[in-house]
Amino acid sequence: MRAGFARFARNRMALFGAAVLLCLFLLVVLTPVIYPDDPFKLVGPALQPPGGRFLLGTDTLGRDVAAEIAYGARTSLIIGVGATLAAIVFGAVVGGMAGYYRGMTETVLMRITEFFQTIPAFIFALLIVAILSPSVSSEIIAIAAVSWPSIARLVRGEFVSLGGREFVQACAGLGASDARIIFNHMLPNCASSVIAVGSLLIGTAILLEAGLAFLGLGDPNVMSWGLIISAGRAVLRSAWWICTFPGIAILLTVLGINLIGDGLNEALNPRLRER
């Protein structure tokens, strides 16, 4: 995997993505220092254009757009990373069991996985949040619930191909338990592809979160990019900055994460390595 990261470092687009993400991370860490106030606090006159006292202007209620974006970044990252981790854990368990035990277990688990995949992701996420009532944790659950099938299918495929490899058989021949084979041998050997695919999932999760918040299904007490856009869309023609800046933030973040994901994929996926 070390060689993989060397290959990653040679990929300029991926490095650009990494730089964008690093900036975002710094912003999240420094937010309490730069904007100590609550982002919901009214700090000035409404609809101030950017460039004056407020770097990115104020919104319809007189809140600082820059502060809103900084706090929204935290929400996006928490939900993006949280939902992806949940999806990876659940997907790996389901896919791993299906790929390891095969037979009936596989048939049942993979049919369930496919059932989840046939439901349009965004509609399904909307439904779950609506049922669970909007909050950060229900958003994480909803996004994880629509993201895990791709991980499950990936891990199942890797496990099926690893299961036929001689080193796995050799381990079974030593008398190793299933848990030992799965955790010590099979999971580490498919970690690189899971990392590559998982990193792309974070971008998707952030987009889903923005979409949910835009439709008013985000946590009303937590600032998020989707919420800012939702609040500013009525005045889009007179106060363009309210929607534009969070939009750019979403664009850059998702682009950065996707570039990193592609870079990881190319660096760690042996099938793409030759390119």
Partner 1 sequence: MSETVLELEKLTIALPPGADRANAVSDVDLVLRAGKVTCLIGESGSGKSLVARSILGLLPRPHVRVGSGRILFEGQDLAIAPQDKMRAIRGAKIGMIFQEPMTALNPLHTIGRQLDEVLRIHTQLGKAARRARVLELIDSVHLPEPGRIIRSFPHQLSGGQRQRAMIAMALLLSPRLLIADEPTTALDVTTQAQILYLIRELQREHGTSVLFITHDFGVVADIADEVAVLQRGTLVERGTAAAVLGAPGHPYTRALIAAVPKLVPPPARPANKQPFIVEARDVTKTYGARGLFGGDVTRALAGVTMELRRGETLGLVGESGSGKSTLARAITRLMPIDGGEILLGGADIAHFSRRRLRPVRKRVQMVFQDPYASLDPRQRIIDIIAEGPIIHGTPPAKAREEAQALLGLVGLDPSAAQRFPHEFSGGQRQRIGIARALALHPEVLVADDPVSALDVSVQAQVLALLADIKARLHLRMLFVTHDLRVALQVCDRIAVMKQGEVVEVAPTAEIFFSPQHAYTKALFAAVPGGTWQDRRAS
Q: Which residues lie near partner 1 (CB under 8 A)?
A: 165-167, 169-177, 180, 184-185, 188-189
Nearest CA among 126, 143, 127 for reference residue 214: 126
Q: Which is nearer to partner 1, 51 or 188 (CB)?
A: 188
- Tell whether the torsion through CA atoms of 120, 90, 128 and 220 is positive or negative: negative
- Scored b (16 or more CB within 10 A) or e, 203-236 reads bbbbbbbbbbbbeebbbeebbbbbbbbbbbeebe
CA dist., res. 108 & res. 63, Å (int): 51
Q: How far apart are CB 7 and partner 1 at their closest, in Å? A: 13
Q: Which is nearer to partner 1, 20 or 194 (CB)?
A: 194
Minimum CB distance to partner 1, residue 186 (Å): 9
- In the complex with partner 1, which residue's Cβ is closer, 33 or 179? 179
**49 secondary structure, DSSP code:** P
C-alpha torsion sign, points 74, 77, 80, 81: negative
Nearest approach in angstroms of CB 187 to partner 1 is 10
CA-wise closest residue to 30 among 82, 76, 71: 71
> How far apart are CB 189 and partner 1 at their closest, in Å?
6
Nearest CB to partner 1, comparing residues 107 and 137: 107
Beta carbon nearer to partner 1, 44 or 102:
102
Tell me how far, at minimum, the Cβ of 117 lies from partner 1, in Å.
24
